[in-house]
């Protein structure tokens, strides 16, 4: 479930977004009540606020998502965390700054879009007195802690400008970094 009010207040394009979701991922064809079933469920919710900026130009916008909560439940599921059974909590905030001058959103013919986003959790390991060298991975990752930085860009360039249906070159790139708050936790 997701809802966005794009004109919060009715005078400026300020947005308010609310979302809640539950996903189920399985790696086998066994019935859900089978004890050998391998699955992971993710339940989450978030609240966000967006605003169009006037500076440096009218194409900039900012979006703040606070809080965003995710609950991961694993049952015999490998490859995501260092344990196969258990649960993980993630409480984070995300800040995105975007400049978007794309001409048409469905079939863009010109313009560009740049997005820089930061998503981070509180550094729980800095505030508690746990010895992370002597606890289980389930207890270590009870609350995830990380910093994620992401940058994406896309450019649309008309190659034959005189044609009714122009041929458009779409160049896209992106990269990101995922960093821990503490080397002991990882």
Could you tell me which residues are beta bridge partners of residue 71? 43, 89
pLDDT at site 164: 78
pLDDT at site 33: 83
What are the Cα distances from residue 176, in Å, to 17, 58, 145, 151, 154? 24, 26, 17, 6, 15
| Cβ proximity of 37 and 27 under 8 Å | no
Could you tell me which residues are beta bridge partners of residue 152? 115, 174
pLDDT at site 6: 92
pLDDT at site 70: 97
Place of tokens 């794009």: 6
Could you tell me which residues are beta bridge partners of residue 90? 70
Integer Cα distance of 6 and 77 in angstroms: 39
pLDDT at site 128: 86
- Which pair of structure tokens corresponds to residue 66? 């606070």
Place of tokens 């896309």: 154
What are the Cα distances from residue 113, in Å, to 17, 67, 98, 100? 21, 26, 7, 4
Q: Which residues of the chain have pLDDT under 50?
A: none
pLDDT at site 11: 82
For 60-90, how does the pLDDT look when each residue is reduced to its tens digit (9 = 90+)? 999 999 999 999 999 989 888 889 999 999 9
The pTM (predicted TM-score) of the whole model is 0.85
């Amino acid at each position: 479930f997701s809802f966005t009010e794009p004109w919060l207040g009715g005078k400026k394009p300020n947005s308010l977004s609310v979302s809640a979701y539950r996903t189920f991922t399985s790696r086998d064809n066994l019935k859900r009540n089978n004890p050998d079933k391998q699955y992971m469920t993710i339940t989450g919710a978030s609240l966000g606020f967006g605003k169009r900026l006037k500076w440096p130009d009218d194409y900039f916008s900012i979006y703040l998502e606070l809080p965003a909560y995710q609950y991961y439940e694993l049952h015999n599921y490998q490859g995501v965390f260092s344990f196969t059974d258990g649960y993980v909590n993630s409480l984070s905030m995300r800040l995105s700054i975007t400049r978007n001058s794309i001409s048409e959103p469905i079939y863009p013919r010109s313009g560009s879009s740049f997005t820089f986003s930061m998503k981070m959790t509180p550094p729980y390991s800095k505030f508690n007195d746990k010895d992370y060298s002597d606890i289980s991975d389930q207890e270590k990752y009870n609350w995830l802690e990380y910093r994620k930085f992401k940058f994406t860009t896309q450019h649309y360039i008309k190659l034959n400008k005189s044609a009714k249906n122009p041929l458009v070159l779409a160049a896209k790139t992106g990269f990101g970094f995922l960093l821990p708050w503490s080397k002991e936790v990882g």
